[in-house]
A and B are shown apart, each in its own frame.
Chain A
């Protein structure tokens, strides 16, 4: 009887210990996801970035359209300012896009400049699901991932193209910012903490609607950068590939580049 009681107490302790371990493991994994993303941001944060992008949009029927843009960034993720100016083809040449991060984890302010209109148009922060100038990116996709706007959890590990990756689930906090997605699954390369893939799930969807793949990693000016960025619309069956060239980091931008004044400057960079 005494022995049975001791065994029961031992089993109870074991169960409690197991529960504690499971709880702690969960906390550690959650903490790990955050610290991985923080470390990733620390490693890849640059003061500025600029590049020229060659875009290829392939629809489900295989019809190919090419575009070109120049991209300028100052800051990173949650404090980023972005300006994109299309250079090609003629029908979109001069179209400009300005995105300015807002404090408090809110959605950034975004504007689109259309040369035919000669003035900017504001993109409502909660409605950024439209195609970005005929590509498979939407307005939210044009922002860098800011982990502070998400609750994150490490889901495990997976190998992508021979590279072991952390798999992190990111769910929008929906406090200040609103997302067009319900969940993002991030695949972060373990050795250099560079994002290689992002699966994007719409709210209430169980399958990803889009998949962004970053590849052809190279070190430029001491910074890792993916020279190829591919956005797959899994629902529509279309794909937009951006090949980055003329990449440079930490070069000072001219004063006023990230302003509405400059966005409205016809032919301006």
Chain B
């Protein structure tokens, strides 16, 4: 770990370094964000925090070959991030400096591409739920942000006629990043621990091996069809609370928590059809694991999307037909199931706004999200928003009621 002050200098230096490069194309943004919690009880974590981000992206193209690199530097006033060399995001806490992209793409033929390096995958809809996409690692430092973590991987994709294929191998596991357990943002239900107890999270090394996935997609007129399969290490951790190894401290009992990662095989089907002015989707997936805590899953999701002028309504219903062996809240990628999500996005002359309502169908808890982005100019933008979880604390959303927050951010892009 590097001490904070030199770290900031190093951060600025590294992020600004590409500006001196003459070749390639540069883009990026700087953002400051302030968040205040609605739950202002003294002694309950912090009452709010600030978040500063500097992001730089560099692209170089030579014919059909493309090289892309991007870095993100940030400062969070909670002080939870620790500067570390963590190029695969395998550490417990996020580093102030993060490599977001570092990939090379080259054509292998007129219709086939090879991409290798670090990049982000997207197999689902924003503000929806897709079993194909849900397992991909997220950073839950802000549990409402749905921030994906890029992966080190090799991807081969191409097409022939109406068919497309995509084969991905991620040789290293990039795990889900969880917030500090026991804090406001930790998705642990009430009553998990006795009052006054604390959790001791120690760094655990996720498995070296990652996963491999294959997707086949086809478009026939108004129909889009897809099949996929994957096998390997599931990047969401399984938590092992060890009360048998609890220690007594001056403030109470400290319980060690270990993380382990299960292997899982999965296969799925996707259908999508344009019906009038609606786009209807259905997805089904079977997930197999021999892990005692994870078990198998049979996940289905249906969604309907419709545009209303400059607005889009997306309604998604998703569920798991198999009850998991442990509390679903601790399974992360399927924690919110069964769920109904309604998302309304709209573009305005001044910017855009969105409203998302997610409701858990087991405990009746839910989450209201609202966000509005006001475009000051082509490069300046102000965003305000809020996340309002509610309901039973046993539910995935209700467990976060003390993390209700409002925020405002100012971004300058280039």
Bound complex: CA A118 to CA B157 (Å): 14
Contact B310 A89 (CB under 8 A): no
Bound complex: CA A127 to CA B309 (Å): 8
Q: How would residues 87 to 118 of chain A score, 1 for a CB under 8 Å from any chain B CB and 0 otherwise?
A: 01111010000000010000001000000111
Contact A116 B126 (CB under 8 A): yes
Q: At the interface, yes or no: A47 with Cβ under 8 Å from chain B?
A: no
Contact B122 A126 (CB under 8 A): no
Question: What are 28 inter-chain pairs, A to B, with CB distance below 8 A?
Answer: A59-B349, A63-B349, A65-B378, A67-B378, A89-B378, A90-B413, A90-B414, A91-B381, A93-B27, A116-B126, A118-B120, A119-B123, A122-B224, A124-B305, A125-B222, A126-B276, A127-B307, A131-B310, A134-B347, A236-B349, A238-B349, A256-B111, A260-B159, A260-B164, A261-B157, A261-B164, A266-B68, A266-B105
| Besides A88-B378, A119-B124, A265-B113, 8 new A-B residue pairs in contact (Cβ under 8 A), listed by A number | A60-B349, A65-B375, A89-B378, A91-B413, A123-B307, A134-B347, A238-B349, A256-B111
Query: Known contacts being A91-B381, A118-B120, is A261 close to B158, with CB within 8 Å?
Result: yes
Q: At the interface, yes or no: B219 with Cβ under 8 Å from chain A?
A: yes
Bound complex: CA A260 to CA B226 (Å): 14
Q: How would residues 25 to 37 of chain B score, 1 for a CB under 8 Å from any chain A CB and 0 otherwise?
A: 0011100000000
Contact A66 B159 (CB under 8 A): no
**Residues of B close to A117: CB separation below 8 A:** 122, 125-126
Q: How would residues 58 to 102 of chain A score, 1 for a CB under 8 Å from any chain B CB and 0 otherwise?
A: 011001011100000000000000000000111101000000001
Contact A267 B277 (CB under 8 A): no
**Residues of A close to B28: CB separation below 8 A:** 90
**Residues of A close to B197: CB separation below 8 A:** none
Query: Which residue of B123, B274, B379 contacts A124 across the interface (Cβ within 8 Å)?
Result: B274
**Residues of B close to A63: CB separation below 8 A:** 349
Q: At the interface, yes or no: B369 with Cβ under 8 Å from chain A?
A: no
Q: At the interface, yes or no: A40 with Cβ under 8 Å from chain B?
A: no
Q: What is the interface residue range for chain B against chain A?
A: 35 or more
**Which residue of chain B has the shortest Cβ distance to A126 in the bound complex?**
B277
Contact B279 A90 (CB under 8 A): no
**Which residue of chain A has the shortest Cβ distance to B379 in the bound complex?**
A89
Query: Known contacts being A130-B310, A134-B347, is A259 close to B159, with CB within 8 Å?
Result: yes
**Residues of B close to A130: CB separation below 8 A:** 307, 309-312, 347
How many residues on chain A are close to B (CB under 8 Å)? Answer: 40
Contact B274 A122 (CB under 8 A): yes
Bound complex: CA A125 to CA B277 (Å): 7
Q: At the interface, yes or no: A207 with Cβ under 8 Å from chain B?
A: no
**Which residue of chain A has the shortest Cβ distance to B111 in the bound complex?**
A256
Contact B159 A261 (CB under 8 A): yes
Q: State the Cβ distance, B172 to closest chain A Cβ, in Å.
A: 20
**Residue among A67, A124, A134, A238 with the highest chain B CB neighbour number at 10 A:** A124
Q: State the Cβ distance, A111 to closest chain B Cβ, in Å.
A: 9
Q: At the interface, yes or no: B272 with Cβ under 8 Å from chain A?
A: yes
Bound complex: CA A265 to CA B113 (Å): 9
Contact B279 A124 (CB under 8 A): yes
Q: How would residues 11 to 44 of chain A score, 1 for a CB under 8 Å from any chain B CB and 0 otherwise?
A: 0000000000000000000000000000000000
**Residues of B close to A124: CB separation below 8 A:** 274, 276-279, 305-307
Query: Known contacts being A256-B110, A267-B59, is A122 close to B277, with CB within 8 Å?
Result: no
